[in-house]
Amino acid sequence: MFEPKFTYTDKIVNYIAKIASAKEVISNAKIIPLYAAKLKQDALIRSSHYSTSIEGNPLNLDEVKTLINNNQEPTTKAEQEVLNYFNVLKHLNRYSDKTITKNTILSIHGELTKDLLSNPEYEGKFRETRVFIGNLHTQKINYMPLDAYKVPGLVDELLYWLNNSTDEMYPVIIAGILHYELVRIHPFVDGNGRTSRLMATLILSVHKFNIDNYFTLDEYYNQDRQAYIDALNSADKNHDLTNWLEYFCGGVLYSIDKVKSEVLKLAEITSKYNTTIKLTPNEISVLTLLEEKEYIQNKDIQKILNISPQASYKIIRKLKNKELIESIGKGRNTEYILK
């Protein structure tokens, strides 16, 4: 039976304490609902970009934002891959109130790889052939996963542990173990990394640790892909997950601290305004920008929101009518400040 091997080092314990503290701050922060919606959407978009970028997707973050925010139909495999990830992540709560089974993993993989694999038969299906991880150009093999016939049994053992032996375990540790073990088993011909990262996210959601979907781990992994790979590989020789879990917990702390800073900033903005004021996401973005700068101009709003001058002026007019901002100067040199 599967039984993870690791040690609760001082580093892991310290990370967990800081994660718990940051989570408490975020959970108790009061922000306008539309701010929360924007935080969630931004997290979904960033995660969809960074998780697919790790696997070599060529789209940059701005292209992913445009693709998703404009509800564009995919015209390339790269766009399809990003949209698949976004759609699975956006509706991940469909699985969070249920026992995680093989069908859960297969369904998520099927949605992730929809219209992407050369053989559609492999979408949402365990591999039946041997695979390797390496560089096709240099023909260097970095890792050779176990034989395909062992995959169903290994997944069964992992899920038995997950559903029966984790009651006293901190959710972040559970997520980290599941992430590593799925990568090690490598159940699919393709999409293993994306599936593993989404399953880790699902575990946090199941344990009510996703903090309203505000944060994403994928950005941390993508910052230094080699460090991510090295951390995963650290457990391959002796199956000791300690180094990997130190890295994983460090990533959660990094990500949750970023969210905490953003939430505290938005909570401060919220406290300044009457919470009955209805604000659109674009208006929120403008107010947030003004919290960071002393003043902005129309061209600044156009740039951050990727909109026309006319659309920008419309937002400015609404914020002025709500008595949230005021203007200084005239014509093209007009500047806007918080009122």
Q: What confidence tens digit (pLDDT) does each residue in 218-249 have?
A: 999 999 999 999 999 998 878 899 999 999 99
Note the pLDDT of residue 276.
Answer: 63
- Residue 11 pLDDT level (bands cut at 50, 70, 90): very high
- Residue 136 pLDDT level (bands cut at 50, 70, 90): very low
Residue 154 has pLDDT above 80, yes or no: yes
- Residue 140 pLDDT level (bands cut at 50, 70, 90): low
Mean local confidence (pLDDT), 293-318: 89
Residue of 13, 72, 31, 24 whose CA lies nearest to 211: 24
Residue 143 has pLDDT above 70, yes or no: no
Residue 202 has pLDDT above 60, yes or no: yes
CA dist 231 and 248 (Å) reads: 8
Mean local confidence (pLDDT), 266-294: 77
Note the pLDDT of residue 123.
Answer: 96
pTM of the model: 0.83
- The string of pLDDT tens digits covering residues 42-82 is 999 999 999 999 999 999 999 999 999 999 999 999 999 99
State the number of CA atoms in the 13 A half-sphere of 27 facing the CB.
10
- The string of pLDDT tens digits covering residues 180-198 is 999 999 999 999 999 999 9
**CATH number attached to the domain at 273-338:** 1.10.10.10
Give helix then strand counts, H and E, for the chain: 15, 4
Question: Mean pLDDT, the chain, as a whole number?
Answer: 90
CA dist 85 and 71 (Å) reads: 14
**CATH number attached to the domain at 10-268:** 1.10.3290.10
Q: What angle do CA 200, 206, 209 make, to 5 degrees?
A: 80
Mean local confidence (pLDDT), 139-153: 80
CA dist 273 and 275 (Å) reads: 6
- Residue 104 pLDDT level (bands cut at 50, 70, 90): very high
Note the pLDDT of residue 291.
Answer: 80
Dihedral sign for Cα 174, 175, 177, 181, please: positive
Highest mean pLDDT among 91-105, 130-144, 204-218, 282-296: 91-105
- Domain residue extents for the chain: 10-268, 273-338
